Amino acid sequence: MKVQWWYVIVPKSLRRIFWIARLGIARAYELQGETTKARAAYQDFFALWKDADPDIPILKEAKAEYAKLQ
């Protein structure tokens, strides 16, 4: 995965906010009917959370929302 600009300048303690914001972007695209962009944003979110515990509620919700887009 390519390193994003914010990954370099944002302190580690704040990076999770950007990761969760990526989910918000996916949801916004979905509400606008932009399913292709929504899928890409969900995939970016999942790439950032790839090492996370799969039982985290926000990750479960995102996976369920993504499944509806398929």
Question: How do residues 3-61 score in pLDDT, each as one tens digit?
Answer: 666 566 777 777 778 788 889 999 999 999 999 999 999 999 998 888 889 999 999 99
Res 12: pLDDT: 73
How far apart are alpha carbons 33 and 17 in whole angstroms?
Answer: 25
DSSP string, 19-39: HHHHHHHHHHHHHTT-HHHHH
Res 27: pLDDT: 96
Q: Domain for residue 4, yes or no? A: no
Amino acid at 12: K
Q: Which helix (H) or strand (E) covers residue 14, if one does?
A: helix 12-31
Q: Domain for residue 7, yes or no? A: no
Q: Domain for residue 24, yes or no? A: yes
Q: Domain for residue 50, yes or no? A: yes
Quote the pTM value.
Answer: 0.79
Q: Show the domain range for 49.
A: 12-69
Residue 65: which pLDDT band, with cuts at 50, 70 and 90?
very high
Res 4: pLDDT: 64
Q: Domain for residue 31, yes or no? A: yes
